[in-house]
Chains A and B, each alone.
Chain A
Amino acid sequence: MGRWRNVLRTPLGLTATVFTVGVLALAVVAPILWTDEANAVDTSNILASPSAEHWAGTDNLGRDIFYRVLVATRLTVRLALSATALAVVVGLLIGTASFLLGRRAGRVVNAGVNIAVAFPGLLLALFFAVIFGVGATGAVLAIGLAGAPAFARLTQTLVASVAARDYVAAAQVAGVGRVRILLRHVLPNISEPLVVNATIGAGGALLSFAGLSFLGLGVQQPAYDWGRLLYDGIQAIYVNPAAALAPGAAVLVAGLAFNLFGESVAKGLGVQTIGVQSLPETATDRGEAPDVAHQTSATDSAPTDTVLDVRDLVVSFPGPDGPIRPVRGVSFSVRRGEAVGVVGESGSGKSLTALAVTRLVGDPGRVDAERLELLGADLLAEDTKAQRHLLGTSLAMVFQDPMTSFNPTQRIGGQLAEVARHHQGMNRKEALARAVDRLDAVRIDQPEQRAHQYPHEFSGGMRQRAMVGMGLMGEPALIVADEPTTALDVTVQQQVLDLLKAIREEDGVALVLISHDVTVVAEVCNRVLVMYAGRIVEDLPAADLATGARHPYTRALVAAVPDMDTDLDRPLAVIPGRPVDPADVPVGCAYAARCPLASARCREEDPPLESDSLGRRVACWHAGEPIALEIEDRELEDVKAR
């Protein structure tokens, strides 16, 4: 019942509900109260304009149109509901037939429904109106049957989705008959969406009925529904426009009410939702300085061969209780030809860091930093043509999923060539030649032919290599690869990694490789940044990962990687606990709750990222301390700390 209350909560839902109930109530009481007024003939006052006595004027027999509209509510609603009921019943019969008849016959039924659905309802209604004859009964049959294919299609879809569920399959295996399965398992599960759609359908039927009556094919004299009143009224629209407008307005209000009521119920019950979820826009404290309190940065002046220099990078999103900071003050630099890996669990802020340094964080995200420079150019400055040129030619991005990262509607060659045409001023032919050359450079066979193909004609590994090739259209100094192998088959992952390695070695291109996979990073990179809860917690040479890591989180990540020596009889190592929610970062060290070394100090004071003499950095009060295997030890320490 709580879900039904959702319907009334929105202004539209509430209005639609009120009007629907109003129309239904009017359908019941209007003929009882006003039939005499509606039928009172006054030949001395025909086709009168609206007046205090006759609010909508009179018709050609001097009858009051306002009362006639009110009284007609019952017939209109009754006919619309009858037609809807017929449509639902016939639709259900056809729709479930494909389930009952089995695969082959079911396909024929489906094909028939698909053909029928392609024809507009009005055309079908006219067809049936011819067969069943002009008049109210004929129109009910016509509109009901015309609406049936749509309900049959809906039923088919719903039945198919339920029939795929395990309990239906189990019942089938158990030898329960199809009819019984349909009645006991399938129909109860599809009744809700059917009812909701029937409500929407009733609105449509009401409008269609008005249409048929308006054409003179529906209700005949002396009976009258709104469509018939409209038909009579429009003949005299120059004499008394109200005679057409009053029934027109009634049709409109009732049709809209039923329709929107159904849509609101659908939305409230989650039967079908249209629209896009979006973050609520709250006041963001734009003026606030980045959170720099506890982050000691590396060197003061960046060396001249620095490609990327990041200082105190903060990424924030507006949240319900003030801004949320998934990246909280990250500092690092990348030298020419260097390969830097960024590892961490999902939610550690590593991908956002990559998007932030490449200026790809979209609204409503916000990037702040003390310094963000690519080849000495300030990326935080205004978005200028020069900056776009620099980013477009000197920086290459490789994204996680090459399937979705290429535009499916354009040829690969064109998508590569676009870069050269926009940033290097090449014409179409030159740019395409460059694209073919780059595809060749990333070891794609028959590059001329391939350039003319669409992304879906490429295999996954080829697509990712083409993505790297797209980055090489300019002369990149830095490639930022965000999980470049995660979406690929294991067999082609190595190809892509080898390609990245080769490009770095041959062309001296720097690489920032984001990955959750410690082994991938260890293989390709010189240096590794370990991120946790939006901060760098350790910065160390890749060679030291296995044995020289000092932060307990880094050590846990390394320990969680199974290798040839892993004892397969023991459960796979996992890091206990959950990653930190960026909206709720605890005081002190963010990792403390999961850390076997955590002490009272860790829970109160966040450790700064300190450099040692070798340039390695770590943020931990207990860096390098041995981790006791025994849980009891930690508990003992906890007791002592208290």
Chain B
Amino acid sequence: MSVASSVAPAPRVGVRPHPWVWFGVRRLGRLLISLWVLVTASFLMIHLIPGDAVRAALGPTAPPDLVASKRLEMGLDDPILVQYWHYLQDLVTGDLGTSMVSNLPVTDIVAQRLPATLALALLAFAAAVLVSVPVGVTMGVLTRRGHGRRTELAFTSTSVVLGIIPDFLVGVGVVYVFGVKLGWLPVAGNETPDAYILPVLALAIGPAAILARIIRVEMVAVLEADFVRTARAKRLPARTIYLRHALPNALTASLTIGGLILGTLVAGTVLVESVFAWPGLGSTIVSSILNKDYQVVQAIVLVYGAGVLLVNTTVDVALALLDPRSLIREG
């Protein structure tokens, strides 16, 4: 900040490319490097498994010539760099290989399972944000400057506890209460709209609690900032001060940490899908690991990883939209 304030004033306009261009280039670069690491890791996964992955998948009773022909078909006897090259080529054309267990193309399996997971994750993501922002802002306003200390204590302890409980335990809890005890809501599958309620609840409640807590702390801090005093000196209505001046600044600080939390939400679908027998990628990856169907596991790890990277990038872009300074900072 002090550096920025001592920078020479006027004639910087138009000399460098637009800050968004720089931001785009840097952010894209980071995304590509992360993607490359992810792809390489998923490629290496099969090769890092001790012993023969094909033998493991087909079982100890499979005839040796079947294993050998399968290895040949998958190109596992080629030099590793050749395999890597083929893997990348196939990936670009959207070919994720063939399942060793079901002999179906992995791309089809992923395409069939992805929508259910995507719907679950997006709904939970939206629910977490839609609940945490108003709650965090309200709590921040109510507990600013040491006001409402009881409210603060109650809110903080509740959100700490809710934030620690893992999603699958919340899942078990809500299955018991709403499914077994009360019988109000379905606890398995995704056939009806109300089947979404419990999985989304299980998935969103932890991230929402953590986000709300972060937003409250940031809001309390931002309300003490000089520019909020300036806004008060302008005698703007309280609503304008809170929503137009304080909130965007509180959100930028919250998003930096919040991005990671929302990333965990994506991975959280694995466990929550298992609780609710959700026909998505999460339950598929678990059964594939148990069946040693490594081609499928490899592809789903890739999809999940890409999902997380997508969330992180989205958060960074949102940050840049909210706070133009982050364009200049490390993007």
Residue numbers of A with Cβ under 8 A of B are: 12, 111-112, 115, 117-123, 126-127, 129-131, 133-134, 203, 207-208, 210-211, 214-217, 230, 234, 237-238, 241, 244-245, 248, 251-252, 255-256, 259-260, 263, 274-276, 278-281, 358, 360, 362-364, 388-389, 391-392, 397, 399, 401, 403-410, 418-419, 422-423, 445-446, 449, 454, 456-463, 467, 470, 489
Q: Known contacts being A127-B41, A217-B290, A281-B149, is A399 close to B305, with CB within 8 Å?
A: no
Contact of A127 among B301, B323, B325 (CB under 8 A): B301
Contacts of A207 in B (CB 8 A): 164, 166
- Return B132 CB to nearest CB of chain A, in Å: 16
- Return B260 CB to nearest CB of chain A, in Å: 7
Q: Known contacts being A252-B169, A260-B160, A409-B324, is A403 close to B267, with CB within 8 Å?
A: no
- Return A542 CB to nearest CB of chain B, in Å: 26
B176 touches A241 (CB 8 A): yes
Answer yes or no: B79 CB below 8 A from chain A CBs. no
CB closest residue in chain A, given B53: A130
> Which residues between 286 and 307 of chain B lie within 8 Å of chain A, taking CB atoms?
286, 289-290, 294, 297, 301, 304-305
Q: Known contacts being A134-B290, A210-B166, A276-B221, is A459 close to B7, with CB within 8 Å?
A: yes
A241 touches B180 (CB 8 A): yes
Expressed in whole angstroms, the Cα–Cα distance for A379 and B262 within the complex equals: 48
CB closest residue in chain B, given A244: B172
Contact of A278 among B33, B37, B146, B232 (CB under 8 A): B146
Contacts of A363 in B (CB 8 A): 144-145, 147
> Which residues between 85 and 116 of chain B lie within 8 Å of chain A, taking CB atoms?
none
A409 touches B252 (CB 8 A): yes
Answer yes or no: B80 CB below 8 A from chain A CBs. no
Contact of B234 among A245, A279, A458, A470 (CB under 8 A): A470
Expressed in whole angstroms, the Cα–Cα distance for A134 and B288 within the complex equals: 12
Answer yes or no: B76 CB below 8 A from chain A CBs. no
B164 touches A215 (CB 8 A): no
- Return B311 CB to nearest CB of chain A, in Å: 9
A118 touches B312 (CB 8 A): yes
- Return A366 CB to nearest CB of chain B, in Å: 13
Expressed in whole angstroms, the Cα–Cα distance for A423 and B160 within the complex equals: 43
Interface size on B, residues (CB 8 A): 86
CB closest residue in chain B, given A211: B271
Expressed in whole angstroms, the Cα–Cα distance for A112 and B49 within the complex equals: 22
CB closest residue in chain B, given A204: B164
User: What are 29 A-B pairs at a CB distance below 8 A?
Assistant: A12-B157, A115-B33, A117-B260, A120-B268, A121-B264, A122-B267, A122-B270, A122-B271, A123-B301, A126-B267, A133-B49, A134-B289, A134-B290, A207-B166, A215-B270, A230-B172, A248-B173, A256-B164, A259-B164, A280-B146, A362-B145, A363-B144, A364-B146, A403-B1, A407-B245, A409-B249, A409-B252, A457-B12, A459-B6
Answer yes or no: B72 CB below 8 A from chain A CBs. no
Contact of B169 among A251, A274, A391 (CB under 8 A): A251
> Which residues between 246 and 294 of chain B lie within 8 Å of chain A, taking CB atoms?
248-249, 252, 260, 263-264, 266-268, 270-271, 274-275, 285-286, 289-290, 294
Contacts of B217 in A (CB 8 A): 274-276
Contact with A along B192-236 (1 / 0, CB 8 A): 000000000000000000000000010011000111011111111
B234 touches A419 (CB 8 A): yes
Expressed in whole angstroms, the Cα–Cα distance for A470 and B245 within the complex equals: 16
- Return A261 CB to nearest CB of chain B, in Å: 12
A119 touches B166 (CB 8 A): no
Contacts of B274 in A (CB 8 A): 214-215
Contact of A407 among B146, B230, B275 (CB under 8 A): B230
B308 touches A120 (CB 8 A): yes
Answer yes or no: B318 CB below 8 A from chain A CBs. no
Contact of A397 among B50, B230, B267 (CB under 8 A): B230
Answer yes or no: B68 CB below 8 A from chain A CBs. no
Answer yes or no: B158 CB below 8 A from chain A CBs. no
Contacts of A238 in B (CB 8 A): 180
Contacts of B149 in A (CB 8 A): 278, 281
B229 touches A360 (CB 8 A): yes
- Given A130-B49, A274-B217, A279-B146, 6 more contacts at CB 8 Å? A117-B260, A241-B176, A255-B165, A259-B164, A404-B225, A409-B324
B227 touches A456 (CB 8 A): no
Contacts of A111 in B (CB 8 A): 33
Expressed in whole angstroms, the Cα–Cα distance for A130 and B122 within the complex equals: 27
Contacts of A360 in B (CB 8 A): 229, 232-233
Expressed in whole angstroms, the Cα–Cα distance for A41 and B172 within the complex equals: 26
Answer yes or no: B126 CB below 8 A from chain A CBs. no
Contacts of B166 in A (CB 8 A): 207-208, 210-211, 251, 255
